[in-house]
Amino acid sequence: MNEGTVGIKLPNDLFAGKSAIVTGASRGVGRATALRLAEGGANVAVNYLSNEVKGDETVRMCQERGVRSFPVKGDASSFVDAQRIADRTVGEFGGIDMLVLNAGIWEGAPIDKMTEETWNRVLDTNLKSAWSMAKACVPSMKERTSGSIVLVSSTAGQRGEANYSNYAASKGGQISFTKALASELAPKIRVNCVAPGWIETAMVRPAFEDAEYKRQVIESIPLKRVATADDVALSICFLLSDWARHITGEILNINGGAVLCG
């Protein structure tokens, strides 16, 4: 699965002089976003939970694009860790201009079989982490009188997903959180959200081991392919950039037309 960047090139001054934090950046959408931000000239703090090797690899790839980058291990759902991540970034880069709230897991079970631990783990990782990181990073953005935040939600947050009520609730919560923060932090700080459908990443690899199921998924998508991590990263970068300077509180669907939300 391609976790790098392909095809489209971003202007190398799109994010020049700006700094970003990307949570869950050791692989998948987080890594692809970190690399695109670096390509656009941003300095990038690479947050990861446990995979130090992959986190360091993302940092190296960012540095190869000519920017400053450092790894910061931490549980984004813990406000103590979130504050440490924010403080380290301010110390390294002088402030925080952009925040990508990508940390997430996909675990579920039928409601009568789901444990409290599974419910809490998904809600904490996917939703509480957004609150913790926003709370920790917004003061720096307010100090700089500007900022852009993008959350990574899912189509499951819009239409639900059987046997994944915890995941759907967490992603729906991210969408509402986006709209609330967009209203609260305007006019200086913009807050938006992407809602991908199926993405070709390690998180969904087990589901796609069934070739027939994958074929059915692709057939259900009008554009006839599953998104890549880079497809999502490019959309995130659009929302972070001045190209989207008059957009806030928006939920951008990235699903190949599979869920035609109004």
Q: Look at residue 95 in the predicted model and tell me its pLDDT.
A: 98
- Under DSSP, is residue 152 helix (H, G, I), strand (E, B) or coil? strand
**∠ at Cα 59 (26, 84), nearest 5°?**
75
In a domain, 44, yes or no: yes
Q: How far apart are CA 123 and CA 127, in angstroms?
A: 5
Distances (CA, A) of 137 to 51, 73, 88, 159: 23, 16, 11, 30
Per the structure, the complete domain to which residue 234 belongs is given by: 19-198+230-254
SS3 at position 71: strand
CA-wise closest residue to 171 among 79, 103, 81, 74: 103
Q: What does the alpha-carbon distance between residue 240 and residue 38 come to, in Å, rounded to a whole number?
A: 13
pLDDT of amino acid 220: 86
**3-class secondary structure, 26:** coil
* Domain assignment of residue 224, yes or no: no
pLDDT score for 217: 85
> Is-contact 99 147, C-beta < 8 A?
yes
Q: What is the CATH number of the domain that holds 160?
A: 3.40.50.720
Helix/strand/coil for 30: helix
User: Is there a domain that residue 7 lies in?
Assistant: no
What are residue 255's phi and psi, to 5 degrees? -140, 15
Beta carbons within 10 angstroms of residue 92's beta carbon: 14
Counting as low any pLDDT under 70, the low residues of the chain are 1-6, 260-262
Q: In what order do the strands lie in the sheet with 147-152?
A: 69-73, 43-48, 19-22, 98-101, 147-152, 189-196, 251-254
In a domain, residue 262? The reply is no
Torsion over CA: 166, 154, 23, 55 (sign): positive
Tokens of residue 203, six digits: 């998180």
Query: How many folded domains does the chain comprise?
Result: 1
Please check whether residue 8 lies inside any domain of the structure.
Answer: no
pTM for this model (two decimals) = 0.93
Does residue 97 belong to any structural domain of this protein? Answer: yes
What's the pLDDT at 173? 97
The closest of 22, 139, 49, 130 to 90, measured between CA atoms, is: 139
The owner of tokens 């090139």 is 9
Known catalytic residues are: 167
Query: Is residue 115 one of the residues assigned to a domain?
Result: yes
What is the pLDDT at residue 130?
Answer: 98
- In the chain, what is the straight-line distance between the N-terminal and C-terminal CA atoms, in Å? 31
pLDDT tens for residues 64-95? 999 999 999 999 999 999 999 999 999 999 99
Note the pLDDT of residue 186: 98
Q: Is residue 210 in some structural domain? A: no
